Copies of this chain bind each other. A is one copy, B any other.
Amino acid sequence: MASDGNQEIWKDIRKYVHVLEENAISQLSINCVILGFDDRNLQVAVNRVQIGTHPMLLLPGGYVGQRENVSDAVRRIVRECTGMEDIPLRQFDVFGSASRSFFQDLAGEVELSTGAAKSIMDWLTRRFISLCYLALVDFREIALHPTEFYDDARWIGLDEAGCLALDHPDMVRSAREYLRKEMPHAPIASRLLPDTFTLPDLQALVEAILDRRVDRPNFRRKILGTGLLRKVGQDRSGIGRPADLYSFVHGRHTALVEDFRFGF
């Protein structure tokens, strides 16, 4: 793809790299694990990019402007990908191996002769340290946008994240671990679920995060016992007995956090 004449693309990339050289903090990148919950499975937002002959799947990412707060940079990156403002973000890891670079894993893919100027190669071969952030979004409210130079943006199942390029599968693993640890301390489910949801939905989410099955009657008793949920209707869409619809009672998170159990 890149080998035959999309000079235009390389020209754009060169310009983009030039802007980055001028305005961005060198050797520092951001990557975001944007999680959603659909079809009772955790999903992660990825970008498809074709730099060599094979397409690659990558986590959304970007760079930090010299006059930009890191947190604002992350917000900007998430906004570009999801269109959403004000999504809570958590930094959960740093990837800083000395050998980390785009080119390390691209060797053989990029053909220098076609249009990759020196400035681009400099950028691609440079050692980068990546700050990893986690964002939880309501799947149904998000329409993923491909950002500049990405062919495509899509959701993939969290279990399929092993197919990502570079060390991004490790980032997803780390994010998953972080999410599990964060469960008792922060509102998580309320960010991943739509405004109204069924208890089986909530249970499936908790099971996905904990990566183990939970007894249904006991889960119901425990969750309803917290007083975090308010019944708001019925869901008559599925097969079988209709499930009750619930909403989170706003502002009761903090109390639960102290109780050292699920945090929603």
Contacts and interface: CB of A to CB of B under 8 A. Distances in A.
Interface of A: 25-28, 64-73, 91, 93-94, 96-98, 127, 129, 131, 181-182, 184-185, 260
A68 B129 CA distance: 11
A224 B67 CA distance: 54
Contact of A66 (B68, B93, B127, B260): B127
Q: How many copies does the complex hold?
A: 2
A68 B25 contact: no
B26 A70 contact: no
A67 B99 CA distance: 8
Contact of A27 (B28, B97, B181, B184): B28
Nearest to A92: B91
Given A27-B28, A72-B98, A184-B184, 12 more contacts: A26-B27, A65-B98, A66-B127, A67-B98, A68-B98, A69-B98, A70-B94, A70-B129, A91-B94, A94-B94, A181-B181, A181-B185
Contact of A182 (B97, B131, B181): B181
Contact of A69 (B91, B96, B131, B185): B96
Nearest to A177: B185
A129 B127 CA distance: 17
Nearest to A186: B181
A96 B127 contact: no
B131 A94 contact: yes
A28 B129 contact: yes
A93 B70 CA distance: 12
B27 A129 contact: no
Contacts of A26: 25-27
A262 to B, nearest CB: 11
Which residue, of A27, A98, A129, has the highest number of chain B Cβ atoms within 10 A? A98
A72 B69 CA distance: 26
